[in-house]
Amino acid sequence: MNKETARAVVCLSSIDWDPIWTRKQQVMSRLPQNYRVLYVEPPITLLSAFKDKTLWFKWTLWLKGNRPWRENIWLYSPPPVLPFGNKYRWINKINQWWQSLFIRRQIRKLGLKQPWLWMYLPGSVDIVDRLEHSKLIYDCVDEHSEYTGLIDKQVVRSMEAELCRRCDVVFVTALGLYEDKKGWNPRTYFIPNAANLELFGKAQDQATRVPPDLEQIPPPRLGFVGVIQDWVDLDLLAEVARLRPNWSVVLVGPVGAGIDVSALQALPNVYLLGRREQKELPAYLKGFDVCLNTFKINDLTRNVSPLKFYEYLASGKPIVSVDMPQVRNFADVVKIASTPAETVAAVEEILGSDNEEQKARRLARARENSWESRVKQMLEIILRRQ
């Protein structure tokens, strides 16, 4: 590949490349082959590894430099930074200066000339002037100021407002985010999440086999796939399990640090299977009778485009979801339920009436919402700003 004619992208992400793919990886991996991408993973803080022991490996990962993932994509994990960057702006400025020293070195090593800076975190505003770039893009996937933990809402909002104002283009995944951010930048565009059709469509393949650990769980199986964080409505899942002890509630995904799942573990018909590789997920979806999209409804989740919902849709499996703005557009192919009792009623209706025609409609809606179409739309918008 000719480095001089290739387009360069430096993506400052909010999530590691592996093991769980979200919008960031889906977008970056679908950029054209002549786009050379440095995907910068979020650094841990000096406290992170003490809170979550699985993060110890990241203390020295930065010493390995960039790691090639594909011919045109490299991954890089910066060294640890100070905690409380989302509480105190002066700490964030120190952290971004520190990161910039190492990121610039990787940009030089890869020969990336005048890259686009593609941001996913409000705090990245303090690194903008330290990294050479030709375009600044912010892809807003959450209302970051509504996260719990060591943050100051006003500090995060202030950084995000400044970042949006400086950007050439701002993308948002939810209409609530669009209404909030467009006042900061008129070049704000609503681009919701999408479905990985190639991967999750394998749930319909005859060659795909239901994994043994799921097959031994008695049906009907109500399944949830994703990281179990504090925005997942575990109380709803537990109550559904109590109301129908002859149903199996299955959760596939890692449990986030500090999340108490003891109430679920105490129920004999709830199964927490833990994290699985992304390529294994279609096989688990194939073994579900119904997929559950169970978020708590609050200021954070009202502005979320639930990625797992699109993955469920691409599998062709029936879905019961809580009432979220992004899901209402799919009310023709999805059951919406707000309480445990409504969820039980919706599942019972599906178990008694779902058919091939309804599955075909779900798959058709999934095809209308592919990552390929989303990335094409995003690039068209960015290139119009030339």
> Tens digit of pLDDT for each residue in 187-210?
999 999 999 999 999 999 999 999
- Classify residue 203: in a domain, yes or no: yes
- Classify residue 251: in a domain, yes or no: yes
Strand, coil or helix: 53 = helix
Task: Look up tokens 């809170």; give the residue.
Answer: 51
Strand, coil or helix: 112 = coil
Residue 359 in this model has a pLDDT that exceeds 80: yes
Average pLDDT, the chain: 92
Q: Which of 41, 65, 63, 60 is nearest to 49 (CA)?
A: 60
What is the pLDDT, as a whole number, of residue 2? Answer: 43
What is the pLDDT, as a whole number, of residue 256? Answer: 83
Residue 83 contacts residue 46 (beta carbons within 8 Å): yes
Together in a domain, 179 and 243: no
Together in a domain, 72 and 170: yes
How do beta strands 116-119 and 67-70 pair?
A: unpaired
- Classify residue 2: in a domain, yes or no: no
How do beta strands 67-70 and 73-76 pair?
A: antiparallel
Together in a domain, 235 and 342: yes
Give the CATH number for residue 268. 3.40.50.2000
What is the pLDDT, as a whole number, of residue 257? Answer: 79
Residue 280 contacts residue 309 (beta carbons within 8 Å): no
Residue 316 contacts residue 203 (beta carbons within 8 Å): yes
Give 4's pLDDT tier (boundaries 50, 70, 90).
very low
Please state the domain count of the chain: 2
DSSP H helices, the chain, are 23-28, 48-51, 58-61, 89-110, 153-166, 175-181, 197-200, 212-215, 234-243, 262-265, 281-286, 307-315, 325-328, 340-353, 356-367, 371-384
Together in a domain, 112 and 228: no
- Classify residue 1: in a domain, yes or no: no
Amino acid at 221: R
The least confident of 47-56, 247-256, 331-340, 353-362 is 47-56
CA distances to 13, 39, 178 from 115, rounded to whole Å, are: 15, 12, 26
The least confident of 105-109, 119-123, 274-278 is 274-278
Give me the domain span that covers residue 361.
197-367
Alpha-carbon distance 235 to 133, whole Å?
46
User: 257-281 pLDDT, tens per residue?
Assistant: 789 999 999 999 999 999 999 899 9
Residue 47 in this model has a pLDDT that exceeds 90: no
Together in a domain, 247 and 357: yes
User: 13-25 pLDDT, tens per residue?
Assistant: 999 999 889 999 9
pLDDT average, residue stretch 216-235: 94
- Classify residue 281: in a domain, yes or no: yes
Together in a domain, 42 and 178: yes
Task: Look up tokens 């430096």; give the residue.
Answer: 10
Alpha-carbon distance 339 to 382, whole Å?
41
Task: Look up tokens 């899942």; give the residue.
Answer: 237
- Classify residue 80: in a domain, yes or no: yes
Side-chain-side CA neighbours of residue 333 (13 Å): 24
Together in a domain, 359 and 272: yes
- Classify residue 123: in a domain, yes or no: yes
Together in a domain, 17 and 104: yes
Give 46's pLDDT tier (boundaries 50, 70, 90).
confident
Together in a domain, 379 and 333: no
**Alpha-carbon 191 to chain mean position:** 14
- Classify residue 306: in a domain, yes or no: yes
Together in a domain, 76 and 181: yes
What is the pLDDT, as a whole number, of residue 5? Answer: 53
Give 6's pLDDT tier (boundaries 50, 70, 90).
low
**Which two three-digit tokens encode residue 143?**
């209302």
Strand, coil or helix: 68 = strand
Together in a domain, 122 and 238: no
188 or 175, greater pLDDT? 188
User: 51-99 pLDDT, tens per residue?
Assistant: 766 677 788 888 899 999 999 999 999 999 999 999 999 999 999 999 9
**Rg from Cα positions in the chain:** 21
Together in a domain, 241 and 167: no
pLDDT average, residue stretch 226-250: 94
